[in-house]
Structure 1
Amino acid sequence: MNNLEKILVVEDDLLTMKILNFILKKEGFAVSSAKDGLDAIERIAVIQPDMVITDVMLPLKSGLEVTSYVKDNFPNIPVIVLSALGEEERTVTKAFELGADDFVAKPFNPNEFLLRVKRLLTKKNARIAV
């Protein structure tokens, strides 16, 4: 796995965004951030991330809309959806229907979160190498 892989983090909660950025940068990933779904959608084509990590509840466009946009336009980019919602079952189902590759409930364990990120990037790179 190339540790210069680019990850776009879409999160409107500043503290959660800082935590995610810290965890990912510490592992050597190049991290970009977007504070809302519209900003994320506008940036995806420009930065061409290797992965998108998005919260569900976002201003302007939801994380589910971001997921749908990524999977419709860049199907090889893995998407991890984050949510602190109480309606996790319905949200998880909808996220997977839209093509999300994984779902992480907040609060999350940083080590488990990193394992999920690395697993998806390894799978993506294995598909590209074939």
Structure 2
Amino acid sequence: MLLTNILRRMKILVAEEEPLMLKTLQLKLKKEGHEVFGCADGRFALEAIQHLLPDLVITDTNLPHLSGLQLISAVKSIIQKKIPVIVVSASAQDDMIADALDRGAADYIVKPFSLADIAQRIKKFIAR
């Protein structure tokens, strides 16, 4: 059982500019057994990704200094390791969703969402 928990543990970076949402996601993901790093700034998130090389990135689209969409593009072009990126956004506009997916986002979740939903979506990346 312990081995199963170790294999499921992921290093996750959460980039979210809203402090309450960032804290909520961090707490939920830590409770699920993951190692979680958070930042509220797109530029800082990119630096953290380069140093930490997380297994998964969760980003909002609306970040200061470097948007979530720009962050996706940077991760896909700069980072050697293939890191899946899940976008969380209040925007449900088709063009925003298409842009995120075209840039390489692995998934797009519209706010508000349930914490159980995001945990379930993360599990599909663990299975890969």
The alignment's TM-score, normalised by the length of structure 2, stands at 0.89
1:50 aligns with 2:63: no
Contact 2:17 2:41 in 1 (8 A): yes
Q: Which residue of 1 aligns with 2:104?
A: 99
How far the C-alpha of 1:73 sits from its partner, in A, is 2.7
5+ residue gaps, structure 2: none
How far the C-alpha of 1:3 sits from its partner, in A, is 3.5
1:82 aligns with 2:70: no
5+ residue gaps, structure 1: 124-130
Contact 2:11 2:36 in 1 (8 A): yes
Runs of 4+ with >3 A deviation:
none
Give the letter for the 1:99 counterpart: G
Classify the secondary structure of the residue corresponding to 1:17: helix
Number of residue pairs matched?
Answer: 122
1:9 aligns with 2:14: yes
Q: Identity over the aligned pairs, expressed in percent?
A: 40
CA distance in 2, matches of 1:121, 1:12: 26
Classify the secondary structure of the residue corresponding to 2:17: coil
The alignment's C-alpha RMSD in Å is 1.3
> Deviation per CA, 1:98-119, whole angstroms, max 9, x where unpaired?
0000000111011111111110
